[in-house]
Amino acid sequence: MKFELSEEQSLIRETVRDFAETEIGPSAAERDEEERFDRELMFDSLAELGLTGIVFPEEYGGAGADYISYAIAVEELSRVCASTGVTLSAHLSLGANPIYLFGTEEQKQQFLTPLATGEKMGAFGLTEPAAGSDAGSTKTTAVRDGDDWILNGTKIFITNAGEAETYLVLARTDKEAQKHHGISAFIVSKETDGFSFGKKEKKLGIRSSPTMEIVFENCRIPGTNLLGAEGEGFRVAMKTLDGGRIGIASQALGIAQGALDQAVAYAKERKQFDRPITAFQGVSFQLADMATQIEASRLLVYSAAYKASAGLPYSQASAMAKLMASETAMKVTTQAVQILGGYGYTREFPVERMMRDAKITEIYEGTSEIQRLVIGNSLTR
Amino acid sequence: MKILVCIKQVPDMESKFKVDGAGTWYDTGDLAWRMNEYDEYGVEQAVRLKEQVGEGDITVLCIGSDKVKETMKKALAMGCDRGLHVSDDDVSAREPLQIASVIAGFAKDKGFDVIFTGMQSQDRGSGQVGVLTAEILAMPSITTIVDFAYDGGTVTAKRELEGGIKAIVKVAVPALFTCQLGLNKPRYPTLPNIMKAKKKELLSVPVADLLEADARQQTVKLYFPEKKGGGLVLEGDAPDLAAQLVQILKEKTTVLS
């Protein structure tokens, strides 16, 4: 078992880190303050680097790299801007990957390739006002009409909404079926009649990433946009979230690492009582704990990523990675604010933004409670 | 068109440096390594030249231990076609003439039209390797270029001189160019190109096969500048002080010309 990155993975880390620090980092605080998404910076430039389809085969416009490379890319972006990290993660894992996993060859050519090349952006519509953790309670409906489907319903908290061109939407196709049975997955394009956008959420963190409500009112889509078999939607969603969890775990990891780097740099410079505060074990012990938890999280992320690329089952691994990395991010960023003290509480330093960004990683793509459910079930089945 | 670009692997300049045991170089343990900044401009210009001409082959050459191959991969990922690694675990003990002789030893029978090197390395900073290589190869060299334009066998280069003056030089290829900050903005290697770099040829040659020159200079001592005392106190009456101050500003700073 090699605990070393390959040369390609090392070069990917160096490249994305350089790019993130130089191009993305400088505007991160301002974009967060203004709640502004910058598509050219936060998506198009990622496409130019080949990140938007990093794990997909070259035949579909991807880079043909592995999931560890993907994890590295999301981590390095999130280290300076968690909003950019989630833009990529939601696009690739939630928008594009289900089409790769479940799409017909025609659907892959039509929808996957433009997503992989970054010509189009992807998003995922599962959550509803009354269906969060209880995703099986989906109320959005899809009714057959000739060869088409008519969608009605509302999805909320959709990342990349408004900007994305391609949406993966879960809707109930069989009203008689119970709970998570009778749900199907659909590909819906932005300019479709009857598909509109509702309110944009005002959030605690990742404020540069757009989160919106999407609304379907007698929205007609062609039958060829059904993804997977009718009634297979819940399975599509769950498999999609397994991959998405690696993305979010990587985002959380990046946020934590960025906060740790800030805390270490500050603690070395900040002098109190005639010495840098790193001289006090109260501080250095905290940094040690933060670094250890981050490293443990990183290994869980890489383990899940390795399994995903090796074609091994990885639901438990990705749930563990997401659970650990997100809780670590919250702890580490909170501690980083503490280490930076009064300065850490001001917007002049990035750690307060990192702390606000970290919180959502414990919630979306499956709350920490749901991750525990997944892991518990896999142990006790 | 055949292009050679010479690169060096140097430590990240943000690193904390320590003088080594012998006192003649820095301790190479525990450092993060990357491509010499000036060499990145050379790689970028080589790739742009090939793109402009529409055909060509770019060889990237680097001297050092196996560790330098990582940096060579970046050059391949930016667009170089093949790599020539000169295996030398003692590269930091070589002096510029020896480095130049190794490069010239490789290049002499290859028919390169254009050779790019960095203006200087960020660690040793001798600024000599490019020019010495050109001299050994009996090839014209143009140093510290901040602009490069190729047109049918002739290069028009802009050189940066002292005081911000620029000079325009025209030369027929084959020729060697040393690259300065401002020449171009090096591209980020794209992910597909990083993956493709794996398949590009990267040959290793032992330094003994190419090194012909004996060292004519040696590093006697490497040390941190001694911390001097605070400021300088000037004495005298006002006109006298003013004259002293102007003299110091003229001689020790670039504030007055």
Residue A164: how many other CB atoms lie within 10 Å: 28
Locate the DSSP E strands across chain A. 122-125, 141-145, 148-159, 166-172, 183-189, 195-200, 211-221, 226-227, 271-272, 275-276
A372 membership: H or E segment, kind and range: helix A368-380
Distance between B84 CA and the closest CA of chain A, angstroms: 17
- Whether residue B194 lies within 8 A of chain A, CB to CB, comes out as yes
In this structure, are residues B141 and B178 in contact, taking their beta carbons and an 8 Å threshold? yes
- Statement to judge: residues A111 and A130 lie in one domain: no
CB within 8 Å: B77 and A50: no
- Statement to judge: residues A132 and A255 lie in one domain: no
CB within 8 Å: B189 and A65: no
- Interval A48-86: pLDDT, tens: 999 999 999 999 999 999 999 999 999 999 999 999 999
- Interval B142-183: pLDDT, tens: 999 999 999 999 999 999 999 889 999 999 999 999 999 999
Considering only CA atoms, which of B53, B44, B55, B42 is closest in space to residue B77?
B44
Domain end residue (candidates: A200, A232, A264): A232
B157 membership: H or E segment, kind and range: strand B154-160
In a domain? residue A1: no
Which of A11, A48, A51 is nearest residue B77 as measured by Cβ atoms? A11
In this structure, are residues B34 and B67 in contact, taking their beta carbons and an 8 Å threshold? no
- Statement to judge: residues A288 and A264 lie in one domain: yes
d(CA B203, CA B170): 34
Select the residue from B191, B193, B198, B202 to test the A interface by mutation, using most A Cβ atoms within 10 A: B191
Q: In chain A, what residues touch B35 (CB-CB under 8 Å)? A: none
Residues above pLDDT 70, as percent of chain B? 100
In a domain? residue A150: yes
Specify the CATH number for the domain of residue A179: 2.40.110.10
Nearest chain B residue to A66 by CA: give it: B195
- Whether residue B77 lies within 8 A of chain A, CB to CB, comes out as yes
- Statement to judge: residues A241 and A223 lie in one domain: no
Domain end residue (candidates: A206, A232, A258): A232
In this structure, are residues B12 and B35 in contact, taking their beta carbons and an 8 Å threshold? no
d(CA A27, CA A366): 29
Phi, psi of A130 (to 5 degrees): -110, 10
Residue B186: how many other CB atoms lie within 10 Å: 19
- Statement to judge: residues A129 and A110 lie in one domain: no
Nearest chain B residue to A16 by CA: give it: B188
Q: How confident is the model at residue B30 (pLDDT cuts 50, 70, 90)?
A: confident
Locate the DSSP E strands across A81-201. 122-125, 141-145, 148-159, 166-172, 183-189, 195-200
Write the ipTM.
0.88
- Statement to judge: residues A98 and A131 lie in one domain: no
pLDDT for the residue B253: 82
The DSSP symbol for A229 reads S
Averaged pLDDT for residues A285-302: 98
Report the domain count for chain A: 3
- Statement to judge: residues A204 and A116 lie in one domain: no
Considering only CA atoms, which of B55, B27, B59 is closest in space to residue B42?
B59
Considering only CA atoms, which of B36, B86, B121 is closest in space to residue B210?
B86
Considering only CA atoms, which of B211, B214, B194, B185 is closest in space to residue B89?
B211
Q: Is B185 exposed, middle or buried (0-12, 13-18, 19+ CB in 10 A)?
A: exposed
CB within 8 Å: A11 and B190: no
d(CA A321, CA A306): 12
Size of interface A-B (CB pairs under 8 A): 52
- Residues belonging to chain A with any Cβ–Cβ distance to chain B shorter than 8 Å: 7-8, 10-12, 14-15, 18-19, 48-51, 54, 58, 63-65, 69, 73
- Statement to judge: residues A35 and A92 lie in one domain: yes
CB within 8 Å: A48 and B190: yes
In this structure, are residues B71 and B33 in contact, taking their beta carbons and an 8 Å threshold? yes
pLDDT surpassing 90 at residue A368: yes
Specify the pairing of strand B166-172 against strand B154-160. antiparallel
- The overall average pLDDT reported for chain B is 94
Specify the CATH number for the domain of residue A352: 1.20.140.10
pLDDT for the residue B257: 63
- Domains, chain B, in order of start with CATH, read 2-209 (3.40.50.620)
In a domain? residue A254: yes
- Statement to judge: residues A127 and A216 lie in one domain: yes
CB within 8 Å: B188 and A65: no
CB within 8 Å: B191 and A10: no
CB within 8 Å: A65 and B191: yes
- Interval B57-81: pLDDT, tens: 999 999 999 999 999 999 999 999 9
Q: Which domain holds residue A287?
A: 235-380
pLDDT surpassing 90 at residue B15: no
Residue A365: active-site member: yes
In a domain? residue A205: yes
CB within 8 Å: B189 and A10: no
CA-only gyration radius of chain B, Å: 21
Q: In chain B, what residues touch A49 (CB-CB under 8 Å)? A: 188, 190-191
Distance between B189 CA and the closest CA of chain A, angstroms: 7
pLDDT surpassing 90 at residue B23: yes
User: Hey, which residues does A215 pair with through a beta bridge?
Assistant: A154, A196
- Statement to judge: residues A271 and A217 lie in one domain: no
Residue at token pair 């009718």:
A230
Q: Provide the b/e sequence for A99-129 (b: ≥16 CB within 10 Å).
A: bbebbeeebbebbbbbbbbbebbbbbbbbbe
Specify the CATH number for the domain of residue A95: 1.10.540.10
Residue at token pair 């060859």:
A105
Domain end residue (candidates: A232, A257, A285): A232
The half-sphere exposure of A310 on its side-chain side, counting CA atoms within 13 A, is 10
CB within 8 Å: B198 and A8: yes
In a domain? residue A2: no
In this structure, are residues A190 and A165 in contact, taking their beta carbons and an 8 Å threshold? yes
In a domain? residue A137: yes
CB within 8 Å: B188 and A19: yes
d(CA B35, CA B75): 9
d(CA A158, CA A211): 5
The half-sphere exposure of B130 on its side-chain side, counting CA atoms within 13 A, is 31
Phi, psi of B99 (to 5 degrees): -60, -45
B40 three-state secondary structure: helix
Considering only CA atoms, which of A162, A85, A127 is closest in space to residue A240?
A127
Distance between B86 CA and the closest CA of chain A, angstroms: 19
Distance between B68 CA and the closest CA of chain A, angstroms: 11
d(CA B227, CA B225): 6
- Interval B101-158: pLDDT, tens: 999 999 999 999 999 999 999 999 999 999 999 999 999 999 999 999 999 999 999 9
pLDDT for the residue A82: 98
- Whether residue B10 lies within 8 A of chain A, CB to CB, comes out as no
Phi, psi of B108 (to 5 degrees): -55, -35
In a domain? residue A178: yes
Distance between A51 CA and the closest CA of chain B, angstroms: 7
- Statement to judge: residues A21 and A38 lie in one domain: yes
Residue A80 carries which side chain, given as an amino acid letter? V
Specify the pairing of strand A148-159 against strand A211-221. antiparallel
Q: In chain B, what residues touch A58 (CB-CB under 8 Å)? A: 192
In this structure, are residues A52 and A118 in contact, taking their beta carbons and an 8 Å threshold? yes
- Statement to judge: residues A223 and A286 lie in one domain: no
Distance between A185 CA and the closest CA of chain B, angstroms: 31
Catalytic option among A75, A128, A163, A365: A365
In a domain? residue A342: yes
Q: How confident is the model at residue B14 (pLDDT cuts 50, 70, 90)?
A: confident
Q: In chain B, what residues touch A51 (CB-CB under 8 Å)? A: 191
